Every structure is written in C-alpha cells, then in structure tokens.
Copies of this chain bind each other. A is one copy, B any other.
Amino acid sequence: MSNNVLDLALIPGDGIGPEVTAEALKVLKATLGEDNVKATEYGLGAEHWLATGETLTDQTLEAIRGHQAILFGAVGAAPNDTRIPSGLLEREILLKLRFAFDHAVNFRPSVLYPGAQSPLANPGDIDFVVFREGTEGLYVGNGGSMRTGTPHEVANETSVNTAYGVERVVRAAFEYAQQRDRKHVTLLHKHNVLVHAGHLWNRIVNEVGEEFPDVTHDYLHVDAAMIFLTTDPSRFDVILTDNMFGDIVTDLAAAVTGGIGLAASGNLNINGTAPSMYEPVHGSAPDIAGTQQADPTAAILSAAILLEQEGYADAAQRVHKAVWEDLAARDTSARTTQQVGDAIAAQV
C-alpha cells in the first residue's frame, strides 16, 4: 500500500485547527515522502459560515467522501462570539461527518507518555484505549421540546441504541483487545438506571465475548469508573462505552495522561463505505489561536493513528517513536507549534 499516494481531505477548521493540522501534515509528508501525500483542503468552520451561511453542504460532503481519509483540526467559534449559534459548527460539521460517514468506532488511546505531566500524584503506567461508539446514543439528535420558552416547557433527549450499532463497536473492541498483552475489555455503562440500553450493551458484550475466549471482560458503572480513572488508571486495557459516556470518559482519560494536548483519535468507518476521520480530541481553543502556542502533538498522534489504520503500519511506528523521543526530551522552554512539528518531522 505505501507506494500508493495517500489522498487526504484536510479540514483545518477554526482556532488552532489550522496550526496543528499543518504540523500533522508536515509529519505525514516527512514520513511517507512529500510526493506520496496529497492533501485537498476544505475550508469549513466559523469563517466560512460567516461568509456564506453554509456549514457543510451535501456537495462538499460528497467531495470529501471521494478521499481515502480525513485529517481534521477543530471547529468551534469563540464562546463570546455571539454571531455564531452555539454548537452549530460542531453539529453541522464535525457530527455531520461522523454520522454521514458512519464512524462506528471512535478510537481514543490514552497513554502516559514520557515527561507528560499527569495531575495525579501516582499515575502509574497508563496505557489503555477507549472504544467509544460513534453513531448512536444521545448524539442522534433525537430530541425536542414543547411549550418552549414557557414555565411549562418539557425538553426531551432520547438515546437510541441498536444491536447493529452496539455489536460492531463491541466486536471491534474485542478484536483490538485480542492483539494486546492484557486482552481485557471493560464495559462502562449505567445499567442499574438505564435498564434497556444497559441490557442491550450487556447482552452484546456477553455474546461477542464468547467468541473471544482469550479476552476477559468486566463491567463498571460509569460513575465508579471516575474513581478508578483517578486512583488506578493503569488497571484499564480496553474501555468500551457509548457515545455520551465515551465523550466524558475520554476527556478525563486525556486529563490524567497529561492533558488534552496529547489526546488523539480516529473516527473509524469499519466497513469501508466512507473515509475515516482523524482528529485531536481537543477543541479549537480560540483564546490561543494564531499565537503558535498550541501543542500539535495530539494532531500528529492522530496522523499516526491514520497511518496505522490506512495500512502504513511501519510509518505509524516511526511517527510514534519520534513523538515519544520528542516528549522524553522536552524541557520547560516553550517551543512554537511549528518548532514542535519540525522537531518531530526531523525524527521520523
């Protein structure tokens, strides 16, 4: 595969998105060779919306669909920018891409890298991956309100969970766990309260688990997981959970491994019907946009996941090693976004 050109859709987005994706692209090119990476940029986000009133048209969506993979920065306006309805860009760009391209698995590794500053006194040796379901749950937009704006308003949000959607992320988690040393899957849910969705998740985990006799699995209530993630995060190997719990848990996981500046992710289409999308877990951080203060490492590690998933395993290893060495050598002197990217690109 690696002698084909990697054909990317690049969506830099807002805030620090363009700065960090520029470095991720630099590292991809340094790894595969300048001519082996083709990136087509799509200018989506706050500016585009302000200029055109468009978030992501069907036409642009179809153009993006034609690429092998998507490298995504971040979208989201500054919180004090009242011109842009809150959450609009996240929903109509980021979530639209995840749903339109059927990103069944939101793959989010949590590793305590050398030199990373965990807020925990004794973080231990953290190395787990969260398999967050990506196309269902409370994220389906299945809500509404009545008597809106009155003292009698009722506002509902429905979490929709299907055996089809749950089974594929469960299977992906078990397959992945089977490749790892500890071969252990932990389901996080809240089945004592969310009886119906919880039953479904439990059933599918038990059923699929039987097909993987060498993989052990257990269950934790999502609230109890908060305690273990702060007191004993090294106990986890593969965490499996739904879309909303996964959103919450992966930010905590990022925090305990030294911050959102290192947290990478892949939104994976696992049946080959559309491109997967790779993005740092962090947002657009409008407060530091354009200042070259953002750490591009999360975007670069997302590019490493891209390489791994798109069939460039050796190249992925080289990026990982370069990041690992760069992190180990970091001191307190501040580097610009570009300097971090240059240093990692020089190592791959």
Contacts and interface: CB of A to CB of B under 8 A. Distances in A.
Most buried by B among A90, A195, A260: A195
24 contacts: A87-B191, A87-B195, A90-B192, A90-B193, A91-B193, A119-B122, A138-B159, A138-B194, A145-B199, A149-B203, A151-B163, A154-B163, A155-B162, A155-B196, A156-B160, A157-B159, A158-B159, A159-B159, A190-B244, A222-B248, A223-B250, A226-B248, A227-B254, A230-B230
Interface string A69-95: 000000000000000001100110001
Interface in A195-209: 195-200, 203
A43 B247 CA distance: 39
A255 interface: yes
A155 B151 contact: no
A102 to B, nearest CB: 17
A234 interface: no
A334 to B, nearest CB: 19
B231 A251 contact: no
A154 B150 contact: no
Interface string A146-175: 011111111111111111100100000000
A143 interface: yes
Given A155-B197, A230-B256, A163 B150 contact: yes
Contacts of A222: 247-248
A44 B251 CA distance: 38
A159 B197 CA distance: 13
Interface in A216-254: 222-224, 226-227, 230-231, 244, 247-248, 250-252, 254
A196 B223 CA distance: 24
A139 interface: yes
A193 B138 contact: yes
Contacts of A163: 147, 150-154
